[in-house]
Structure 1
Amino acid sequence: MALFETLFVVLGVALLGALAVVVKTRLFPAAENEEPREDVAEYIAMMVSVLYAIVLGLCLVSVWETRSSASDNVQAEASALHQTYLLADALPADRREPLRAAARTYADHVVDVEWPMMAARRPLDPSGWRLLELLRQAGEVDDTASVSQQIAAQEVLAQLGNMDDARRNREAAAQERLSPVLWTGLILGGFLTLAFMFIFGISRSTTHMVMVMGLAGFIAFTVLLIHQLDAPYGEVLGTSPDAFTRYFA
């Protein structure tokens, strides 16, 4: 969702809140001798607001940790792939270019094929793992290699092991979603919080309208923010493949 679309949604929700205030004022005007609300009801409204703030905090922390973990996994995978590419210089001459070519092919596959699939939350096919196996095969040396070349080949295997772990974590993060229980609390709590703004209406309709518009718009913005962060590889706030493109531009 682009910036203007987000602003449009937030403004639309705020205007709906203002419209609800106008309808409530016209259909249910406050009587001059209306009794003040009970203290117990005000306490309940305050508790709903506090609990909703806790739910918002839990949702934001959850999606932010998932997004941060996804970013760390991408950096670790791209860094290990880059180290593997550089270690090709220490291998026998006939193994250098095959390893470099396999590393470039893997990076292109991640950026061009896997990233759009992860952004759409589609499961990845096994082709990426097959390319990783080709990397392992390209980094193998025979017994005729020198001691330094065999050591470099072992380091290549170690870096590929790091890539294996980071790739598994990246695939897992692409499928993670915010708990439906938290989504239910997020939406239901927002409606309850706004509803109490009408139960304890303010005598001045203009002030009441501004307060409802501000609260409705801010709740809509927060829900959209959580929705965007819930896609760790999304186009707006998700992790980008810049780590791979930077190393293999």
Structure 2
Amino acid sequence: MIETFAVVLGIAVVAAGAVLLQHRFWPPAPDEEPREDVAEYIAMMVSVLYALVLGLSMVAVWEARSAAEDHVQVEASAAHQIRLLSAGLPAPAGERTREAVDAYVHHVVSEEWPVMVAGQPPDRHGWDLLNDLRSAGQIPAGASPAQQATLQETLAQLSVLDDARRGREADVGDTLSPVLWFGLIVGGLLTVAFMFMFGVRRSITHVVMVMGLTALITFTVLLVYGLNEPFNGMFAVDSSSFSRYFPGS
């Protein structure tokens, strides 16, 4: 957080220095028109279009992060439900199910999460552990109706866990399009550049305007950057959902 504000302040100070240099070496001429209608219209259109790009980018990265958080919570909850349901299975099947779900969760937290933080998708070993979990809950044909009902609910939770895992793996690569990044950077530079093209004679007013706009644009772009990777950065989705249900994982 401190680094973010330092970057915002630093870029705003650089922009303020550029304004002071402009007023020192290239002041507006006394007879120069402060604003031209065409230039004002173009600047307004650039600002509006850039606001649209900012809004689209923010919505995209926020929805991606929210989807990742939902997938993690659903996956952890389904694993927890499977472990609870294992108590209703026959002793051998129930014990195998508990061991399999514990092994799966431990692998997700200790092995897969560091890989996802680095921006890489998990390997196939997690799916192998999930298949072991699926096969661990097999019960004999002579099981009681209650045990059979428990098994059906366990299979339903396994399906939920399977879908949530697929979503979590897809979330790792769900980052902002390079086209939108291009629009964010170029649009921000154009928007700030237009602030230098009008003949604002009061240097203090011009400095405040440019610093405020530059700081706001920089902060917003850094916020988009922080939300761009769901499992990395300041707003990363962590493994606390699994740790809450499986304290020893």
**Could you say which TM-score interval applies, normalised by the shorter chain?**
over 0.9
Structure 1: stretches of 5+ with no match in the other structure: none
Name the structure 1 match of 2:205: 207
* Corresponding pairs, count: 247
Name the structure 2 match of 1:12: 10
The offset of 1:51, in angstroms, is 0.7
Aligned residue runs from structure 1 range 136-147, under 5 A: 136-147=134-145
The offset of 1:147, in angstroms, is 2.2
- Per-residue CA deviations over 1:122-164 (Å, capped at 9, x if unaligned) read 1211011011011112111122322221221122111111111
Check the 8 A contact 2:226/2:234 in 1, yes or no.
yes
Residue 180 (str. 1) matches residue 166 (str. 2)? no
Deviates more, 1:141-150 or 1:126-135: 141-150
Question: Which amino acid in structure 2 is aligned with residue 81 of structure 1?
Answer: A
The offset of 1:210, in angstroms, is 1.4
Aligned residue runs from structure 1 range 139-158, under 5 A: 139-158=137-156
Question: Which amino acid in structure 2 is aligned with residue 180 of structure 1?
Answer: P
Name the structure 1 match of 2:157: 159
Check the 8 A contact 2:50/2:187 in 1, yes or no.
yes
- Per-residue CA deviations over 1:42-88 (Å, capped at 9, x if unaligned) read 01111111111111000011111111111111111111111100001
The offset of 1:187, in angstroms, is 0.6
C-alpha distance in structure 2 between counterparts of 1:247 and 1:46, whole Å: 52
User: Residue 75 of structure 1 is aligned with which of 61, 73, 76?
Assistant: 73
- Per-residue CA deviations over 1:15-36 (Å, capped at 9, x if unaligned) read 1101111221222112222233
C-alpha distance in structure 1 between counterparts of 2:212 and 2:191, whole Å: 12
Name the structure 1 match of 2:214: 216
C-alpha distance in structure 2 between counterparts of 1:179 and 1:129, whole Å: 29
Q: What TM-score comes out, normalization by structure 2 length?
A: 0.96
Name the structure 1 match of 2:195: 197
- Per-residue CA deviations over 1:185-223 (Å, capped at 9, x if unaligned) read 111110010001000142111111111111111111100
Q: What TM-score comes out, normalization by structure 1 length?
A: 0.96
Check the 8 A contact 1:201/1:208 in 2, yes or no.
no
Question: Which amino acid in structure 1 is aligned with residue 142 of structure 2?
Answer: T
Question: Which amino acid in structure 2 is aligned with residue 131 of structure 1?
Answer: L
Name the structure 2 match of 1:60: 58
C-alpha distance in structure 2 between counterparts of 1:177 and 1:35, whole Å: 45
C-alpha distance in structure 1 between counterparts of 2:35 and 2:179, whole Å: 32
After superposition, the CA RMSD in angstroms is 1.2
